Structure 1
Amino acid sequence: MSYLQSKQYLVSTHDKNRYQKEENLAPIFYIHSDCNVPSNRDVYVELLQKFIRVDSYGKCNNNKALPDSLTFGKSMAPMTSKEFYELAAKYKFTLTMENAVCDDYITEKLWRPFHLGSVPIVFGSPKIKDYLPNKRSAVVINDFDDVEKLAALIKYLDRNDTAYEEYLQYKESGGLTNTFLIDSVNKREWSKYHDQTKPFYSLFSGFECYICEEMHKNIDTIKSRKELPIKIAKLDHYGCPPPKRFSDKGQYTVVDPRFSYFWYEGKYRAKAFRYFYDRNLNFTEKEIDTLAKSFRQEYMDDG
């Protein structure tokens, strides 16, 4: 939890106000370079920009240039640099929008602004509130039925320092109150490899160490001629709802046929694979495709 509560890059509200005036910064920071993704996030940003300024540094919705020293090219390494952290920390708010909407898909996009002390404006996992440091530490897009209402809240918090700083209380002793989050981090199988005193990305190397250890356990099991345990992914962990897109008011409710096609294709291919697997049958890719098409046709005929 030291990563979330770190004040290494935290900029005071007074200085954030000053940066807005002196450097002409918007209240909201946004940076993404994967555009036109299933979450439809860039459309939401366009809607939001009608009501409040957003500084967009990435390829998507770009309206502000990064310093030359932070040019990404083919590497995302600059996003872990001190210079990038110091730039992002100047902003009061950060748009934190995932590529896709899935229950367990929560990435560094959320944790980085918490680390830097910039209030996240969050869109992604339907379970996101389970993982926030406390009940008032982020602005959740799904709580608003109109993008203009969300913009109104951000404008209010931008003008009222006391109200804004309530969203940063998790940085103080006793402010991180979400026991579910704390327990989830402490009980992860790879937590023992993660050095909490080091930057966030040590988490990824810690997970790699965990995977390496599990592989060696399997190798030892094979050498001892024992049967390997079978682990099967379940929908409550890996399942994602069909992709949608935002309405004109900013509600994520409109069926998106572009990405839904691939979602349904994957669904029925997985069902076809499971059919052969459960029956211990050999199969070819062509047989998977054929059976998947028949499953989808059955669904369409019933619907």
Structure 2
Amino acid sequence: MTLKANNATSYITAPILWMNSNCKTYSNRTEYVLELMKYIDVDSYGKCGRNKKELPKHIAKIQGTASLDAKRSSYKWQEGKLALSSEYLFTVAIENSLSYDYITEKLWHPLLSGSVPIYLGAPNVEDWLPCESCIIDLRKFKTPKDAAHYLKMVSMNRTLYESFHQWRNVPITEKFQKILNYFQKAKAYSLDCILCDMTNRVNRGEKRYNIKSQVLKQLNFFNRSTVV
């Protein structure tokens, strides 16, 4: 069970999908994945470590372009990424930065599509997850080689792999429901205005911790033990 086998996946040559075109990041994402690729097969469609020359035709049709280098604003990149990710066991989900609360679509897209995220990013990612065991947390491995060994083991063990999807079969936790409620309420706020106000207050000498706590309290943000 090393691949999600069906008639449409002859283009899949690895259990892992990587789509990354920002090759220089604070998290050293590119360097990590290139090292990982020495020990396990990875299909890479981005500019960094690319080993796939073209998108599958049905993915190109979904997103409206077959180009691997088109600007995001010119096509439905999220739809294409979700569709492609859904056909892989794992999707690399390493953030640009390893900062608290910095969670992006790199985590959400695999979870939404049915792929298991190979994650490295926010140190408090557990605060944002809908489950206890639904990601491959790269912090648990000393080296990319160790991570590759574990990924191979999971990809060949159906029971172990499916354990990362058990959360889909149970009601979401109260904590995650609070997260969803927060984002629903946050739609009424302008992110630009919030960030501008926070920047001005920091410049006036207020502490970032206090400002963030006040903003989250105002939005009835979900409770957790620490806010960094």
TM-score by length of 1: 0.57
In 1, Cα distance between equivalents of 2:160 and 2:93: 20
Q: Which residue does the alignment assign to 1:52?
A: 40
- The Cα of 1:120 is off from its aligned counterpart by 0.2
- The Cα of 1:134 is off from its aligned counterpart by 1.4
Describe how 1:1-303 pairs up with structure 2 within 5 A: 16-18=4-6, 22-67=10-55, 69-71=65-67, 72-76=69-73, 77-81=75-79, 83-174=80-171, 176-177=172-173, 179-186=174-181, 188=182, 190-192=183-185, 206=187, 209-211=188-190, 232=206, 234=208
Total equivalences in the alignment: 195
Deviations 1:90-141 (A, max 9, x none): 0000010111111021101100100001000001111112222211100000
In 2, Cα distance between equivalents of 1:19 and 1:142: 35
Point out where structure 2 has 5 or more consecutive residues left out of the alignment: 213-228
In 2, Cα distance between equivalents of 1:212 and 1:150: 36
The answer on whether the counterparts of 1:27 and 1:53 sit within 8 Å (CA) in structure 2 is: yes
Q: Which residue does the alignment assign to 1:260?
A: none
- The structure with more helix, counted as a fraction of residues: 1
In 2, Cα distance between equivalents of 1:21 and 1:134: 29
Q: Specify whether residues 120 and 16 from structure 1 end up closer, same or farther in structure 2 by C-alpha distance, changes over 3 A only.
A: same
Q: Aligned Cα RMSD in Å?
A: 3.1
Q: Specify whether residues 235 and 41 from structure 1 end up closer, same or farther in structure 2 by C-alpha distance, changes over 3 A only.
A: farther
Matched position secondary structure for 1:210 = coil
Deviating beyond 6 angstroms after TM superposition, the runs of 4 or more aligned structure 1 residues are 212-215
Deviations 1:37-86 (A, max 9, x none): 111000001110111001111111111134262425222543222x4322
Between the two proteins, what is the percent identity of the paired residues?
Answer: 31
Larger Rg, first or second structure (1 or 2)? 1
Q: Specify whether residues 18 and 142 from structure 1 end up closer, same or farther in structure 2 by C-alpha distance, changes over 3 A only.
A: same
Q: Which residue does the alignment assign to 1:287?
A: none
Matched position secondary structure for 2:83 = helix
